[in-house]
Amino acid sequence: MIPANSKRARLSLVRMTARPLGLLLFVLAAFMALCAALGFLALPADGWDIASTQAGAHSMLTSAGITGVVGLIALIASLGVPFKIGRREALFVVSSIWIAMGVFGAIPYIIGAHMSWADAVFEAFSGVTTTGGTILTEIEGRLSAPLHLWRTMTHWIGGIGIVVLFVAMLPSLGVGGKRLFQSEAAGPDSGGLSPRIRDTAKVLWWIYLSFTVLEFFVLRVVGMPWFDAIAHAFSNMATGGFSTKNSSIGEYNSASIEVVMTLFMLVAGTNFALFHSAKTKGLSVFWKSHEFRVYMFLFTGITLVIATDLRFDMYESMGEAIRYAAFQVAAIMTGTGFATADFEEWSTLSRIMLLCLYFCGGMAGSTSGGMKLIRILIIAKAVVHEVRIGFRPALVAPVRVGEHAVAEGVVRATLVYALLFMGTVGLGAIAVACLDPVDITTAFMASLACVANVGPGMGAIGPTENYAFFSDSTKVVLSFCMLLGRLEFFSLLALFVPGFWRR
């Protein structure tokens, strides 16, 4: 039995959420309209069909209209409801905003590409959570230019986080903004860029926007067509993985494009706060960051191991081996999920190395997926710490990462996070296996690739395959896995704990 006052608390929570939801839908509608306009950058000279672009633009505008009207209704419904953000409210607002993004993000696919609702929802959640796994078998012909743009745009909106944009735009959220920000945050280390959360959010969006524009121009310079450059800049900086091409980046077969994208994937996986402090304190801040050093060490180390392995296995020269290995390592590690090679054909050693990278992710405070390196570091140090305690029980020492002592609460939260990550991957794999007749690799990798927000997996969902063959229910389960992974479990799971609804 639910007591009456808890029902009231639930109702006011829902009504209060209508305001940020309404605002979100307006923002989404604006982005949809932007896609309709930018779609015309897809030039016939690059093989795009003007008529289909026009039809696409039309369907994008229709979707924008629907989204905008629903947003307006939500805003009207929220009139007169006091807007005060405590811990509970922040969790609920952030979770519902993300669910709404996935649901409304699916509208253009249903209208513009006549997808089934499950396909559209999967594609939309894969977009906003920057996973990049697709249900499209034939990418180029199936979608019109504005829809291609929408796919990568959903990445871009979800990459740094829509709530961060809200906090940056809306004044007077105060400490409520901080709570919202933390509920969406990527990694345990967030904030500290500026004393006020609104300024922090603004700085993050500026860094994000600047790098996206920069990448767009650089891609253009190294020979990518206008339209593809925009789409890939969006997709890349968000560490998403949607491409406008069937064979992803491999389509261009251009070493310079691959180098540029590898670099920008690494940038997107770096803590954005470092770029901000580098502006005042110089480039040494990168090297001083323990996490950054581990990031670079892992990237170069694993690239070299895989390249050496591939050199004897597949490729003619070391240079070629490094080219493919580096791109793929960056793509998996940061959770982007682009592909230039079918890594399914690589040796077991190389694939195991990649598999480990699914878990790692990039740095905290970046757009990357996975568990984030700082967490891996904390867990590793906590393990060493426990072992030391085992033979010297009187030892009093904190868990340290670099110079910094990690608070016990943070260590505990990190361990719980890791358990949730593993648990979700495991349960997700079981669910997939229940719902679809797939082999063990496919079931496990589908779950892992979605929770870690990477995208392509191994087995039947490798870099050259896709998620289209799964049943509708599996697609919904995997969409939920992606959202859990993106919101780092706690925010979303709080809604399922009975105490959350009780006052």
Partner 1 sequence: MHVVIIGMGAVGRDVAKVMQAERHDVVVIDNDPDVIDVVNERLDVATVVGHGANPKILQLAGVDQADLVVAATDNDEVNLVAAIASKQLGAGRTIARLHSGEYEDTMSEDEVEKGLHYGMLGIDVVVSPPILVADEMFQIARSHGALDVHLFAENRIELAEVELMENSPVIGIALKDLTLPKQTRVGAVVRGDEIFIPSGKDALASGDRAYLFGRTADMHEIEDLFCHGQEASRVVVYGGNVVGEVLSRRLSRAGVHVTLIAEDRTAAKKLAPGLAQVTVVHGDGTDIARLEEENVGNADLYFAVTDDDENNLMSGLLAKRLGCPRASCLVHRHSYQELYRTLGIDMVISPRQIAADHILQYARPPQVESIVRLGDGDAEVLEVTAAMGSPVTGKPLSKISMPAGVMIGGVLGPEGVHIPDGSSVIEPGDTVVVLALTKQRSYVEKLFQRSLF
Q: Which residues bind partner 1 (CB under 8 A)?
A: 171, 174-175, 177-178, 191-192, 194-199, 407
Gap between the Cα atoms of 211 and 113, Å rounded: 31
For partner 1, give the closer residue by CB, 46 or 199.
Answer: 199
For partner 1, give the closer residue by CB, 197 or 322.
Answer: 197
Shortest approach of partner 1 to residue 171 CB, angstroms?
Answer: 8
For partner 1, give the closer residue by CB, 151 or 198.
Answer: 198
For partner 1, give the closer residue by CB, 1 or 396.
Answer: 396
Q: Which helix (H) or strand (E) holds 404?
A: strand 404-406
Residue 253, both tokens: 């077969």
Beta bridge partners of 400: 405
For partner 1, give the closer residue by CB, 47 or 195.
Answer: 195
For partner 1, give the closer residue by CB, 177 or 362.
Answer: 177
Shortest approach of partner 1 to residue 214 CB, angstroms?
Answer: 28
Shortest approach of partner 1 to residue 318 CB, angstroms?
Answer: 46
Q: Which of 380, 374, 421 is nearest to 399 (CA)?
A: 380
Gap between the Cα atoms of 33 and 344, Å rounded: 39
Gap between the Cα atoms of 405 and 253, Å rounded: 46
Shortest approach of partner 1 to residue 175 CB, angstroms?
Answer: 4
Shortest approach of partner 1 to residue 203 CB, angstroms?
Answer: 12
Q: In a 10 Å sphere around its CB, with 0-12 CB exposed, 13-18 middle and 19+ buried, how is residue 320 labelled? A: middle
Shortest approach of partner 1 to residue 409 CB, angstroms?
Answer: 9
Gap between the Cα atoms of 126 and 464, Å rounded: 17
For partner 1, give the closer residue by CB, 138 or 199.
Answer: 199
For partner 1, give the closer residue by CB, 4 or 396.
Answer: 396
For partner 1, give the closer residue by CB, 165 or 167.
Answer: 167
H helices of 225-314, in order, are: 226-237, 255-268, 272-281, 284-288, 290-313
H helices of 361-471, in order, are: 373-391, 408-435, 440-451
Residue type, 165: L
Shortest approach of partner 1 to residue 187 CB, angstroms?
Answer: 17
What are the DSSP calls for 95-134, one per residue? HHHHHHHHHHHTHHHHHHH---HHHHHHHHHHHHTT----
Residue 485, both tokens: 């992974």
Q: Say if residues 90 and 176 touch (Cβ distance below 8 Å).
A: yes
Residues 6 or more apart whose CB falls under 8 angstroms from that of 396 comprise none
For partner 1, give the closer residue by CB, 199 or 439.
Answer: 199
Residues 6 or more apart whose CB falls under 8 angstroms from that of 28 comprise 67, 71, 101, 104, 105, 157
Shortest approach of partner 1 to residue 327 CB, angstroms?
Answer: 39
Shortest approach of partner 1 to residue 35 CB, angstroms?
Answer: 34
For partner 1, give the closer residue by CB, 73 or 175.
Answer: 175
Q: Which residues of 29-49 are buried (b: 16+ CB within 10 A; e: fewer)?
A: bebbbbbbebbbbbeeeeebe
Using H for helix, E for strand and C for coil, what is the string for 161-186?
CHHHHHHHHCCCCCHHHHHHHHHHCC
Gap between the Cα atoms of 310 and 318, Å rounded: 8
**Beta-sheet strands, E only, within 52-130:** none
Q: Which of 318, 341, 331 is nearest to 251 (CA)?
A: 341
Shortest approach of partner 1 to residue 285 CB, angstroms?
Answer: 15
Q: Say if residues 142 and 113 touch (Cβ distance below 8 Å).
A: yes
Shortest approach of partner 1 to residue 178 CB, angstroms?
Answer: 5
For partner 1, give the closer residue by CB, 171 or 499.
Answer: 171
Count of Cβ atoms closer than 10 Å to residue 137 Cβ: 12
Q: Say if residues 97 and 162 touch (Cβ distance below 8 Å).
A: yes
Shortest approach of partner 1 to residue 85 CB, angstroms?
Answer: 11
